[in-house]
């Protein structure tokens, strides 16, 4: 009987978001959808270019995730904000999109073999918001106009 190799950053629940790297092919994540929004087509207002998400793992680390236009229809009714999912088989790319929704240096993208499974909401607790005072926000190293900061409505 062969022993299972030790994979850095992998727990019973999946990889930690903080450990995501392009070399981690076959990663599995257990994450909550903190933010979900459609990116509209700039020329056809009723058409969606992509479905964008901010995902958070049980440690509180976040990463951006994108589903392209070809697959939006499949997942539009499956993925919801504030729900928890197991996700695996995705593309890991440099996070160069501006403004950045997370500080993670990589982002994830859906492709034909991506698997998404809904998990019980008791899998872990998470908070959508990270409240900070303005002085604390201004003290964040490297913060500039390329970072997205939300506000309460």
Asked if residue 74 belongs to a domain, the reply is: yes
Q: Which residues contact 42 (CB under 8 A, 6 or more apart)?
A: 49
- Cis before 99 (ω within 30): yes
Asked if residue 23 belongs to a domain, the reply is: yes
At 29, give phi and psi (nearest 5°): -120, 145
* Domain count across the chain: 1
Asked if residue 83 belongs to a domain, the reply is: yes
Asked if residue 42 belongs to a domain, the reply is: yes
pLDDT 10s digit of each residue in the chain, 153 long? 333 333 334 344 678 888 888 877 778 999 999 999 887 777 877 777 888 899 999 888 999 998 888 888 888 888 999 899 999 988 888 888 767 778 788 899 888 788 888 888 776 766 666 666 777 767 766 665 555 555 443
pTM summary value: 0.73
Asked if residue 16 belongs to a domain, the reply is: yes
Q: Which has the closest alpha carbon to 59: 20, 27, 109, 106?
A: 20
Asked if residue 2 belongs to a domain, the reply is: no
CATH number at residue 77: 2.40.50.140
Residue 116 and residue 75: Cα distance in Å, rounded? 9
Asked if residue 145 belongs to a domain, the reply is: no
Domain enclosing residue 91, as ranges: 10-138
Asked if residue 43 belongs to a domain, the reply is: yes
Residue 43 and residue 45: Cα distance in Å, rounded? 6
């Amino acid at each position: 009987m062969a022993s299972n190799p030790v994979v850095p950053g992998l727990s019973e629940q999946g990889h930690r978001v903080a450990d995501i790297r392009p070399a981690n092919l076959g990663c599995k994540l257990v994450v909550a959808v903190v933010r979900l929004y459609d990116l509209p087509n700039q020329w056809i207002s009723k058409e969606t270019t992509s479905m964008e998400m901010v995902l958070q793992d049980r440690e509180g680390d976040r990463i951006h995730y994108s589903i392209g236009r070809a697959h939006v229809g499949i997942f539009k009714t499956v993925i919801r904000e504030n729900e928890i999912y197991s996700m695996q088989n995705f593309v890991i790319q440099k996070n160069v999109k501006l403004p950045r929704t997370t500080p993670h240096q990589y982002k994830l993208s859906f492709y034909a073999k991506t698997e998404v499974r809904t998990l019980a909401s008791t899998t872990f607790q998470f908070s959508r918001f990270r409240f900070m005072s303005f002085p604390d926000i201004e003290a964040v190293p490297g913060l500039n106009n390329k970072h997205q900061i939300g506000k309460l409505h």
